[in-house]
Structure 1
Amino acid sequence: MKKTFKSDKISCEKCKNLIKVSLEDEFGSIDVDLTKIPREVTLEIDNQSQEDKFKDEMKDLGFDILD
């Protein structure tokens, strides 16, 4: 199912491109909305372990997910 995560660390087009280039091979198409604050990242998440892995990968890139 599609799930949207929020992060206040994403600031620009370079951040958006880093997320897409780094994670789309593993997680499929990722949409990063730079018009909203906090920024929204939307993608298909199939289960809790995939969601946890996505959050860990985002944190490794320097983008904490807000709860």
Structure 2
Amino acid sequence: MKRIFQNKNKKETWVVCEKLFGIVGVEMNIKGDEIEKEGFLWRGDRILSKKGVRRAGNSFSEN
């Protein structure tokens, strides 16, 4: 999986997510430091709850 996303920018990552997993991203209506904070919250939520496929896609594109 890591090889699929390696050397891909955010838009390219979403194309892969849409094709492989049939998911669409969640639009983030925030900017600056708030994006980073929200990303950490989403990753934590995903790990703790084992759900949120759309959030997983966002996390892939940020890593």
TM-score (norm 2): 0.35
Which is helix-richer, 1 or 2? 2
Larger Rg: 2
Which is strand-richer, 1 or 2? 1
